[in-house]
Structure 1
């Protein structure tokens, strides 16, 4: 009935975070937009792609038996005629348009962003702004849920870019923002994600330009083995930043706390068609005031929901005899 969400709807849509080793605990939410189940037959496709709007998740998937950290392009959510697919990070650019620009709040709780109050920064919000690509992560691939023990550890292990990157959740009790990742830290920053979780957060970039975020997803499998993959997630921040620059950017650093080689690309994997079709459709822009509210007003979802979600997954496994 209304074009934009009310404050009450924003409250119901926000996420919470608890504390759980080995790092922050990103818990699920009751936001209807986050309710999803993934088709195990969705294709993993090759082909360069720039994602400017719409719903995007990062997450693990088994690719011909190999554990991969991929990008889920949920194109069908915006266009019923399109196909939702999984994409390789080294062929995918997340373009954060100038519609994402917001002033830094004067609230001292947001000094961690690293920019002065009222300074414009680029924000991919926790609650969807239809004019901006909506970036999150999930552990909902059916085969992944069957094979992981309880969840996965997703770690930021390095950042390359012209400014500061922070990723945070707004807590459910109107408390301070819960910081998950900060590009100024030099050590790996792990986040625990339960099985069957779908989460979105606030991603803040202080300057326009190309950013490479080195992310690792690691899990203990039920057969006792460990699966791990590290990939570069490519952001082109600012409408004027060429997506081609992000696509061709190379990593010149090392994994935080490690001196190993840069992440492996998906080169050598058999190529398949891209059924996603044409470029993303245009959505109406949301007002700056509402987006700012979405970043500050949050729902009262507590960490117990993550434990309940985990128990449901484990109970389903027990009932199936796995």
Structure 2
């Protein structure tokens, strides 16, 4: 699609800003388009690629989108892996070379934006193991549209080692299989994903993982050791030195774009703490007896062995393909971050249309005052919610900034990403959370109504209200960022602050 989109846009060029027409701005989301329009006023035409009510996490671009980008004077994305890689590639491949192409979430820190990590805590009783790419790799020629290849150059052990992803409808997708040498997969920069790791026989396994950029530059390799159904502290790691046993928490086998190293990035030594680097050659990953699973009676899983056979497996935990970064991308849920976006937008518009600088500054100052009033309104409304009722349970993990800025707590969500289907364990834990915390309400998102059935049913089963707040997009009842945030504040107070 990206190759076709580039061809479709060949020969197009952005118009001259301010020369008898408006500055043509293309954004990825409705929220960004609204912010741009408020700064630019009638000197700007701002439109969103993701349509009204669409999901920016999963939107796939079209050739028509590429043509719109090719005509743009300015493009704004949120990024931090909010948008899918295909959408980012379409923008970067088709945006005119002399037109600013700004990633707001990544550039707004210099304007005072506050970013928070995207924390995942599934609470498994075995290690949660994934794959990750860290760093930007700019010195090696990487960009945000690069693909980093992770190849299993060598796998050995007493049985088969298979790393695979279970998609949302249960279809397995093989990443590494020791019966197929040199299997590989790709990830974008600063991303990670979750996998199942299956072992058909107990014993000691070694996996050598090698990274390579799509421009051909090597990124190093490392060998990881797995102790499957055996005492991990008695297993020698690949480098023969002192082992670091990883047996709990969250770990990713990681390729580092900046250092050119392959290592484990893990919080297993201090569960709940920030992840830290463990050299591949020292790693021993514990796959204990309690990780035993039965091969499903389903021909799609025949690669694991005969139906009913026992295998050891570290679970994927989050059903469906789930690629994201280390930073929560939903910055706008804190009004102070939206103010940083607005100032960055102002300066970008002045860069392309300097003759209108006074007007951009005047409109921005007026909008910033309105955002200050909005911030105070949200803060004062949410301050009325009693401390023991400030628990937020939502459809997906999009409200960390709202909670952080306005003293709420994200108590739970159905899935981290709205493109996923919840597992049975996720639904069970959600029900337990609602009961244990005695929450009075849960919150769905208007644009994810079809994804809200699980949360709605869980709420009904537990006798709590179902309310609605906005996360990633607008609808006919809220057509601006200010209206969206005022609604969220009012709805949270109505549903959490008042007795039923």
Q: Note whether the superposition's TM-score is higher than 0.5.
A: no
Higher relative contact order (CA 8 A, sep 6+): 1
Q: Normalised by the size of structure 2, how large is the TM-score?
A: 0.25
**Looking at CA atoms only, which structure, 1 or 2, has the larger radius of gyration?**
2
Q: Normalised by the size of structure 1, how large is the TM-score?
A: 0.37
Judging by fraction of residues, say which structure has more strand. Answer: 1
